[in-house]
Amino acid sequence: MVAAVQAFLYDRAQTLGDEIVVEVYPPSARLPACEVPQPFLPRSGEPAMGRVSVGVRCGESGRQVRYLQAEVGVIGSYPVLATDLDAGTTLRAEHLDTRRGNLAELPRRTLLEAERLVGQLTTRPLRAGEALQEHQVRERPLVERNQRVTVEARGQAFRVSREGQALEPGVLGDEVRVRFGSREIITARVSGEATLSVDF
């Protein structure tokens, strides 16, 4: 059973880093042997990294379930800041450096891919050497409040564009209200830099 859990966790974690270290803590109670062990993660969405709980279905029908604790270390590379940054800075590739270590020891919501960080806005002042977490960055708005924007109305056989004023900021895919003249207001989807679209 322990070997099956080890192999299962190794398989689940190997895409996360270059080197995987799995330690499974055997059950303390004296239990009968687990026939045909089928390991599974009770929380399916969680990465198999750090301290994890693993369920094991035993027997041909898998009706008997046991739980084991394990520690999964994942050695790999992750981005850190190469320099101090102020809040509201747009992250560029030169702001980032690469560090190697146990990814399981980083805070839960650390961003591990540099390409996900480039173009994001920092939400607070950050120090060189920091690994970045989800709450420390946000998407850069493509449309700002009160900005002059182009709205494209698109249908199967036509495309018409008008200029209006955005009434709120928005990132790619956001629904934003746009004013034309003094009275007409519509909702359009952000599709690019200072560009919105309405599909018919």
pLDDT, tens digit, 9 for 90 and up, residues 23-54: 999 877 777 888 899 999 988 777 788 999 99
pLDDT of residue 40: 94
Q: How many helices (H) and strands (E) does the chain have?
A: 2, 12
Handedness of CA 11, 14, 19, 22 (dihedral sign): negative
Reply yes or no on whether the pLDDT at 81 is more than 90.
yes
Average pLDDT, the chain: 90
Domains of the chain (ranges; CATH) run 2-74 (no CATH), 75-139 (3.90.1210.10), 148-199 (2.30.30.760)
Q: 28 with 67: CB under 8 angstroms?
A: no
Question: Cβ of 100: how many Cβ atoms within 10 Å?
Answer: 12
Question: Cβ of 165: how many Cβ atoms within 10 Å?
Answer: 15
pLDDT of residue 110: 92
